[in-house]
Amino acid sequence: MLDDYLTWKPFFDIVPMQDNDCRGVSDLHGQRFSRQWSEEEMLSLLTQAGVFGFCALQTNAFFSRPLGGFVLAREAAGEAEILTIAVTEKVARSGLGWRLMQAAMREAQDRGADSMFLEVEETNVAAVSLYRRLRFAEVARRPAYYTAADGTRTAALVMRRDLR
């Protein structure tokens, strides 16, 4: 019994994002980014043409299905882009980012996209490493694109991957 408790770990399903996920998604966005996108912004994005998302929902919690992460993406005219992605700090580095990206790439491909783009802060080691492992390659660099709270400027990388 104690062994079960000590080895217990959360399991997650990756499921399409629904309107009623937007509050939790906005909360998690606020925990992981300096400017939170509100529930209304999330809802409005999700209802735009070509926009879709996935949530990682825990399947072995007792009373609810806690959100472990999400991804929001858009497909238009054969090109897809990642709008935002985040995983809770509690379960970081346990493969959810990878699974969410795989789901987004598959869905984009099913919707007719040949390629996927994203933009990432050059100093975001976790995200850049994840994207490189997923075979995204840098296609542009925008110097001094982001400004941190202390005024430091950092570059944005634009990355691209073939989906075919």
The distance of closest approach from Cβ of residue 94 to ligand COA in the complex, given in angstroms and rounded to an integer, is 5
160 binding ligand COA? (CB under 6 A): no
- Of the pair 124, 154, the CB lying nearest ligand COA is at 124
HSE toward the beta carbon, residue 60, CA cutoff 13 A:
6
Residues 30-69 that bind ligand COA (CB under 6 A): 32
Nearest to 53 by CA among 78, 77, 29, 89: 29
Residue of the chain from 36, 94, 102, 154 that contacts ligand COA (CB under 6 A): 94
135 binding ligand COA? (CB under 6 A): no
89-to-86, 104, 133, 143, 155 alpha-carbon distances in Å: 9, 21, 20, 28, 24
125 binding ligand COA? (CB under 6 A): yes
Distance CA 77, CA 72 (A): 17
15 binding ligand COA? (CB under 6 A): no
- Applying CB under 6 A, the residues found at the interface with ligand COA are 32, 85-87, 92-98, 120, 124-127, 129-130, 133
